[in-house]
Amino acid sequence: MSDTIRRRANRRLAVKLLGITGLMFGFGYALVPLYNVFCEVTGINGKTGQLSAAEADAMKPDLSREVTVEFVTSVGAGLAWQFSAPAQKIVVHPGVVTAVEFEVTNNAGRDMIGQAIPSVAPSTAARYFSKTECFCFNQQPLAAGRVNKLPVRFIIDPKLPIEVQTVTLGYTFFEAVPGAPEADVKRGSLPSS
């Protein structure tokens, strides 16, 4: 094989490898919007409908229908917090703004900061479930031995499909890394690692 043929083959290989690298970079860059679409469709990571408090207050209630909202709480491994819902479940009317308070206790011997990551199930309900106020929007500092009440204000859109009679709102608390940006869970994204 001559040097000219070898150089051409090497150039072609280099161009192909650079092209593959570019495609891999582009795919990695496209994963963030794809993840957001996935969260919106499935309700994972708390991606819910978007309403302001004023829009929620102006919504017309459907008093002829009831939806059960179940609450599930947990804490990540190694987080010495106790986290509980106001009740296992409540019954609400679509279109009625509902406020509940969760409770968290820091049983660790030190001050800590936590971040709650929400989820909504079934996935078909996620776009009809809107939080206008939620402790999950911000990191939660909690002194050692302290108990905090954590408010959530939500509304279920009356357009929720009739076959959905139960919606599960889940939260998992994790210890926040000091100095890390807060999770922007209101819009459905996690902090980058």
Domains of the chain: 43-175 (2.60.370.10)
| pLDDT at res. 48 | 60
| pLDDT at res. 72 | 95
Q: Is the pLDDT of residue 188 over 90?
A: no
Q: Is the pLDDT of residue 36 over 70?
A: no
Band of residue 146 on the pLDDT scale cut at 50, 70, 90: very high
The DSSP code for 108 is: S
In single-letter form, the type of residue at position 65 comes to: R
| pLDDT at res. 191 | 36
Q: Is the pLDDT of residue 183 over 60?
A: no
Q: pLDDT tens digits for 159-180?
A: 999 999 999 999 999 998 765 5
The DSSP code for 180 is: S
Band of residue 189 on the pLDDT scale cut at 50, 70, 90: very low
3-state secondary structure of 91: strand
129-134/166-175 β-pairing: unpaired
| pLDDT at res. 65 | 95
Q: What rounded mean pLDDT belongs to the chain?
A: 82
Q: How far apart are the first and last CA of the chain?
A: 49
